[in-house]
Amino acid sequence: MKKIEISTEVFVYDDLNELREIEIELLEKAEEALAKAYAPYSEFLVGSAVLLENGEILNGANQENAAYSTCICAERTVLSAAATIFPKIKPVLLSVVVKNTNKQQDKPAAPCGECRQYIFEVESRFQSEIPILMKAQSNKIYKVKSASQLLPLAFQKSDLI
Ligand SMILES: [Zn+2]
């Protein structure tokens, strides 16, 4: 028997000013997208924004449904839009902002498991890591260098071959 230890590196910032200008802008775009959230069931609003290699920024929000399994998270909403509008352009930075309308949410929320897998696939497709910024209503920010930091032992294309 052999034991494998896998660690995750999360950078924690307590102030927006510790970030690069483009990172702040991308968090602002995700924050703007909170207004596009359709979350009548959870009342948990999520906005996400993606920066593409060509400088374009897209944002999107979670879209819930009475049939819960058809809900779409903000991250997949915006990355799907990017893949549709700019299919050949590499995403280079992703931000996620959450707002719980029922309580003060100060801790950033990380993408759900399904989104981690989705982001990982986008990284694999473009063979490039996508740093992810996460923020809630306080100025505490988490940052990881890639989806693989959040999804160790990810299922991937090479598993199918
Ligand atoms: Zn998700």
CA of 76 to the centre of ligand 1 (A): 7
Q: The CATH number of the domain where 86 resides is what?
A: 3.40.140.10
Residue 161 lies in a domain: no
Determine contact, residues 46/37, Cβ cutoff 8 Å. Answer: yes
Confidence (pLDDT) at 112: 97
H or E element in which residue 29 lies:
helix 21-33
Quote the ligand 1 centre to 108 CA distance (angstroms).
14
Mean pLDDT (the chain, rounded): 96
Distance CA 133, CA 17 (A): 14
- Residue 113 carries which side chain, given as an amino acid letter? G
8 Å CB contact between 64 and 42: yes
Question: pLDDT of 29-75, one tens digit each?
Answer: 999 999 999 999 999 999 999 999 999 999 999 999 999 999 999 99
Concatenate the DSSP letters of all residues of 75-100 into one string.
HHHHHHHHHHHSTTSPEEEEEEEEEE
Counted domains in the chain:
1
What residues act catalytically? 75
Whole-structure pTM value: 0.96
Tokens read off for 117: 């897998």
For residue 123, give the H/E element and its range: helix 113-126
Q: Which domain holds residue 78?
A: 11-152
Whole-number pLDDT of residue 161 = 87
